[in-house]
Amino acid sequence: MLKQFLPDEHVKSILEISPEQLKSRGIKGIITDLDNTLVEWDRPNATPALIKWFEELKKQNILVTIVSNNNKERVGAFADPLDIPFIFQARKPLAKAFKKAISQMGIKKEEAVVIGDQLLTDVLGGNRSGFHTILVVPVAQTDGFFTKFNRFAERRILNWFRKKGMVSWED
C-alpha cells in the first residue's frame, strides 16, 4: 500500500529534468503540478529560468499540461500567458484529471510523466493511474493550510521508506 507513495524519480528542481532525456525515453507529454512544483505557491508568474525550460520542452515537441488542485483564477493567471493548457480543481489524487490531461494531449499514459512536489496528491495520483512519477523538492519553504497537513504525513512516509532503504535522497 505505501509503495503507491514512492516516486519513480526524485529531483531537487524541475529545471533538473532534461527535455532531451525525456524525449530519448519516448516521453511526449508532461503532467505537472503548479504550486511549489513550478513556482512558489504565492508567485503569480513563471521565472525566466522556467520560461526557458518550457521553451526547451517545446523544441523537443514535448507537450505540457498543468494539473492543479487550485482554482481557475490562480492556475489560469499562471498558464495563460505561457499558452499552456491546464486543469484546475483537479481533485488529485483522483485519476480523472490525469486521464483528461493525456486525452487532451493526444498521447498514451506510457508517453507521459507526472511531476509534482507532494506524495499525497501528485505521486499517489500518478502512480495509481499508472504513470511514471517524478517528485521535486518544493520550491517554497512555506505552504498553505491543507498542504501543511500533507507535509506532516509525507515526512512520516518518507522516513518509513528511508528505514526500509527504499529512498536515498534527503529533503
Question: 7, 21, 15, 48: which is closest to 161 by C-alpha?
Answer: 7
pLDDT, tens digit (0-9, with 9 covering 90-100), for 94-151: 999 999 999 999 999 999 999 999 999 999 999 999 999 999 998 877 666 666 777 7
Strands (E), 8-144: 9-11, 29-32, 63-67, 86-87, 112-116, 132-136
pTM, whole model, 2 decimals?
0.89
Distance CA 157, CA 49 (A): 31
pLDDT digits (tens, 9 = 90+) for 4-60: 999 999 999 999 999 999 999 999 999 999 999 999 988 889 999 999 999 999 999
CA-CA distance, 126 to 158, in Å (whole number)? 17
- 139 and 39 Cβ atoms separated by less than 8 Å: yes
Domain locations in the chain?
A: 2-163
Topology adopted by domain 2-163: Rossmann fold (3.40.50)
